[in-house]
């Protein structure tokens, strides 16, 4: 090592306000580190990430001629970028920097102060030993495809697509159902303003369809995602519709003529029937039917039928349609896969599936909807108007046996139901709740309003819903049994109809989407955001963002805001036009490579190819994510990851063990 390259290390110990300093004796750590070899300066400071903190590093590099920097503070996930930038600003290669995490790994978890101080010393010393071996690394800049993929065509996906497309980017919106619209298309009114959902929703659906910047793939699924930020290569599978989208005029004759009429309608939550060739609802976008291959007489049962084809004037029916695969070049991905309502069957005490007059909230939405099975009249299965209705909150939510979390929207939609029931039927409405959660603009006011409308609120989780008759008044009704915790009495309320306000859970298939995209999910199955507070729309995978309920339960206003935000993130990325690739990637030494191809098999990113001429493995730097699988698999130590060399890692470990 020449004299000018001789390591001169600056070490900075952060107090992190009250997070590190009271537990770790930061001054003592600085004193100890100052004495280590190659350490030119060791300082402690209240907030290293603040402007003065960063300036301190920059000035020391310039004035003391530092050529290596260590900051001991929080997790690298939080501030590694910040400090690398500071080092770069001072004219040093940003990889001449190492971070020691003495907050999450020391002060937050170690009880004894002295022990914490000793631990911090050894972790900072390890960082010093490591940074000694650091080498300058270069990042490269790659151009970005100016296009966005949105997965999911509910209100979140639609809004994200519209915002991105309005900014001038090419958007591909993929929806697995025959129509966009998602859950919101099933709602009648929305809380707390009682806007008609269809009135605010259907124009947006048409906007999506007609927007020149949006390509709509309905009845389609994302099949494969390869590549990296700015340069994803996405394969979309268009499932066979058996109807030619270009020829179909949406006249609906095929649906009228289809003889298979007794299929439970998914859109109406099984409360009405549909035909085998169908659009989920009259306002579907696109207004092109699909054939349900399982129930179709021709496709599913090998029978002669083809009535739809006979009546179709434009000859749009095509029973021979096969799946089509489309490959897209994508710059950024917005995941908006949404939620599904919890199925309450396993909560046997509520008798869902056993008692015909016990409904889920989604069923009630349809029952209440002008385009629903009863044209918006709230009727029981016997055609009568209910005189008394119970609404049970937190079904499947806030329950350690089911979902631990609060589903956030149930209190408000329950009260919306109560209002609509009072207005439409005049029925007596009893709400059984644990706590009323109405934190939102005009939400508490809505709570007050429905109370004034005469809705009864009983604070207590319902124990049981039964058809047992204990009183003449129970005959032919359901009895709700609960403890009223405010009056400390058990209440038995005979009712005609029960609505179970079921909670939200991640949409079916979100596990598969997570696997395709490399997204992690939390214990409840929701996608993890990069940072709960400061990066709620980003994910640990660069270039992939989250919108709507796939990240956690949300109401419509929050979903729309988040969708616009996610689009904003995507736009910000694409507008810049370039992304910087990471420098910590694999390198395979051609002199050591024996050509065994173990690394090629181990690479999940398909980033290594085999050079037949030289008989060695070669890394594609644009695709490599630096995971290190190849380094572990390589039997001849030819593969290694830059910034994680044996010298660097062993140096760090040795110092830790000292």
List interacting residues with another protein (CB under 8 A). Answer: 348-349, 351, 354, 464, 466-470
Q: Which H helix or E strand runs over 147?
A: strand 147-151
Least distance to another protein, CB of residue 341, Å: 21
Least distance to another protein, CB of residue 467, Å: 5
Q: Measure Cα distances from 243 to 264, 286, 324 in Å.
A: 21, 12, 13
CA 638/CA 594 separation, integer angstroms: 8
Please give the angle made by the CA atoms of 628, 633 and 638, to the nearest 5 degrees.
Answer: 80
Rounded to 5 degrees, φ, ψ at 582 are -75, 155
CB 51 within 8 A of CB 81: no
Q: Which one, 155 or 462, has the nearer CB to another protein? A: 462
CB 71 within 8 A of CB 100: yes
CA 144/CA 225 separation, integer angstroms: 16
Q: Which one, 308 or 478, has the nearer CB to another protein? A: 478
Least distance to another protein, CB of residue 472, Å: 12
Q: Which H helix or E strand runs over 79?
A: helix 76-89
CA 652/CA 658 separation, integer angstroms: 10
CA 632/CA 75 separation, integer angstroms: 25
Q: Which one, 423 or 471, has the nearer CB to another protein? A: 471
Q: Which one, 469 or 578, has the nearer CB to another protein? A: 469
Least distance to another protein, CB of residue 503, Å: 19
- Number of other CB atoms surrounding residue 502 within 10 Å: 29
Q: Which one, 463 or 583, has the nearer CB to another protein? A: 463
Least distance to another protein, CB of residue 493, Å: 16
Least distance to another protein, CB of residue 523, Å: 23
Least distance to another protein, CB of residue 435, Å: 25
Peptide bond just before 192 cis, omega within 30 deg: yes
- Tokens matching residue 226: 């390869």
Least distance to another protein, CB of residue 410, Å: 22
Least distance to another protein, CB of residue 479, Å: 10
H-helix segments, 502-618: 510-517, 556-576, 598-602
Least distance to another protein, CB of residue 500, Å: 15
CA 649/CA 651 separation, integer angstroms: 5
User: How far does Cα 500 stand from its chain's mean position?
Assistant: 26
Please give the angle made by the CA atoms of 215, 220 and 222, to the nearest 5 degrees.
Answer: 90
Least distance to another protein, CB of residue 480, Å: 13
Q: Which one, 7 or 351, has the nearer CB to another protein? A: 351
Least distance to another protein, CB of residue 345, Å: 10
CA 653/CA 656 separation, integer angstroms: 5
Least distance to another protein, CB of residue 117, Å: 37
CB 437 within 8 A of CB 408: yes
Q: Which one, 22 or 476, has the nearer CB to another protein? A: 476
CB 404 within 8 A of CB 398: yes
User: How far does Cα 213 stand from its chain's mean position?
Assistant: 24
Least distance to another protein, CB of residue 346, Å: 8
Q: Which H helix or E strand runs over 391?
A: strand 388-395
Of residues 43, 284, 45, 113, the one with CA closest to residue 185: 284
- Tokens matching residue 380: 């029981």
Of residues 448, 525, 527, 432, the one with CA closest to residue 483: 432
- Calculate the dihedral angle through the C-alpha atoms of 402, 406, 409, 415, rounding to the nearest 10 degrees: 90
What is the C-alpha radius of gyration for the chain, rounded to an integer number of angstroms?
Answer: 31
- Tokens matching residue 413: 């939609």
Q: Which one, 438 or 466, has the nearer CB to another protein? A: 466
Q: Which one, 289 or 351, has the nearer CB to another protein? A: 351
CB 192 within 8 A of CB 419: no
Q: Which one, 481 or 616, has the nearer CB to another protein? A: 481
Q: Which one, 114 or 346, has the nearer CB to another protein? A: 346
Q: Which one, 195 or 464, has the nearer CB to another protein? A: 464
Q: Measure Cα distances from 424 to 370, 443, 453, 491, 515 in Å.
A: 12, 21, 13, 26, 46
Q: Which one, 266 or 470, has the nearer CB to another protein? A: 470
CB 409 within 8 A of CB 559: no
Q: Which one, 65 or 473, has the nearer CB to another protein? A: 473
Q: Which residues contact 227 (CB under 8 A, 6 or more apart)?
A: 233, 330, 623
Q: Which one, 354 or 609, has the nearer CB to another protein? A: 354
How many CA atoms does the CB half-sphere of 328 hold within 13 Å?
29
Of residues 392, 363, 376, the one with CA closest to residue 425: 376
Q: Which one, 1 or 468, has the nearer CB to another protein? A: 468
């Amino acid at each position: 090592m020449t004299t000018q390259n001789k390591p001169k290390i600056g070490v900075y110990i952060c107090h992190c306000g009250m997070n590190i300093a009271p537990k770790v004796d930061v001054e003592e750590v600085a004193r100890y580190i100052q004495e280590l070899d190659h350490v030119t300066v060791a300082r402690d400071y209240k907030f290293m990430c603040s402007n003065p903190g960063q300036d301190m590093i920059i000035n020391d590099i310039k004035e003391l001629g530092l050529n290596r920097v260590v900051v001991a503070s929080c997790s690298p996930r939080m501030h590694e970028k910040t400090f690398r930038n500071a080092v770069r600003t001072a004219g040093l290669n940003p990889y001449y920097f190492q971070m020691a995490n003495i907050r999450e790994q020391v002060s937050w978890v170690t009880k004894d102060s002295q022990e914490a101080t000793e631990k911090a010393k050894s972790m900072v010393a390890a960082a010093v030993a490591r940074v000694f071996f650091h080498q300058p690394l270069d990042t490269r800049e790659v151009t970005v495809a100016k296009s966005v993929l949105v997965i999911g065509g509910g209100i979140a996906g639609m809004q994200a697509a519209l915002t991105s497309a309005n900014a001038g980017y090419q958007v591909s919106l993929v929806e697995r159902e025959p129509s966009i619209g998602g859950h919101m298309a099933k709602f009648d009114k929305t809380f707390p303003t009682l806007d008609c959902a269809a009135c605010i929703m259907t124009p947006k659906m048409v906007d999506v369809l007609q927007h020149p910047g949006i390509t709509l793939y309905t009845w389609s699924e994302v099949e494969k995602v390869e590549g990296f930020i700015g340069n994803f290569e996405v394969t979309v599978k268009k499932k066979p519709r058996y109807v030619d989208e270009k020829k179909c005029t949406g006249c609906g004759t095929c649906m009228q003529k289809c003889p298979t009429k007794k299929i439970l309608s998914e859109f109406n939550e099984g409360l009405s029937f549909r035909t085998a060739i169908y659009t989920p609802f009259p306002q579907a976008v696109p207004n092109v039917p699909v054939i349900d291959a399982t129930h179709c007489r021709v496709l599913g049962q090998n029978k002669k039928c083809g009535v739809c084809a006979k009546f179709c004037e434009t000859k749009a029916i095509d029973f021979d349609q096969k799946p089509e695969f489309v490959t897209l070049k994508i710059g950024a991905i917005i995941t908006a896969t949404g939620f599904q309502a919890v199925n309450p069957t396993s909560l046997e005490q509520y008798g869902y599936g056993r008692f015909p007059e016990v409904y889920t909230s989604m069923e009630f939405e349809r029952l209440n909807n002008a385009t629903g099975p009863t044209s918006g009249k709230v009727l029981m299965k016997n055609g009568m108007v209910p005189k008394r209705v119970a609404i049970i909150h937190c079904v499947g939510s806030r329950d350690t046996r089911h979902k631990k979390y609060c589903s956030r929207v149930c209190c408000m939609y329950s009260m919306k139901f109560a209002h609509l029931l009072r207005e439409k039927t005049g029925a007596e409405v009893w709400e059984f709740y644990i706590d009323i959660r109405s934190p939102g603009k005009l939400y508490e006011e809505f709570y007050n309003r429905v109370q004034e409308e005469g809705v009864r609120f009983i604070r207590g989780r319902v124990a049981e819903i039964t058809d047992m008759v204990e009183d003449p008044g129970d005959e032919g009704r359901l009895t709700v049994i609960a403890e009223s915790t405010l009056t400390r009495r058990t209440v038995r309320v005979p009712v005609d109809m029960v609505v179970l306000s079921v909670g939200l859970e991640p949409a079916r298939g979100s596990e598969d989407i997570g696997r395709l995209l490399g997204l992690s999910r939390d214990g409840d199955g929701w996608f993890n955001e990069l940072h709960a507070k400061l990066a709620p729309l980003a994910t640990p995978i660069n270039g992939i963002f989250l919108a709507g309920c796939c990240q956690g339960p949300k109401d419509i206003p929050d979903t729309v805001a988040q969708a616009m935000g996610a689009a904003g993130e995507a736009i910000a990325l694409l507008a810049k036009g370039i992304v910087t690739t990471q420098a910590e990637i694999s390198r395979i030494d051609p002199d050591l490579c024996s050509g065994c191809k173990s690394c090629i098999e181990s690479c999940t990113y398909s980033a290594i190819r085999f050079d037949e001429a030289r008989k060695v493995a070669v890394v594609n730097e644009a695709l490599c994510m630096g995971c290190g699988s190849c380094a572990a698999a390589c039997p001849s130590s030819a593969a290694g990851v830059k910034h994680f060399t044996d010298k660097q890692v062993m140096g760090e470990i040795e110092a830790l063990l000292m």
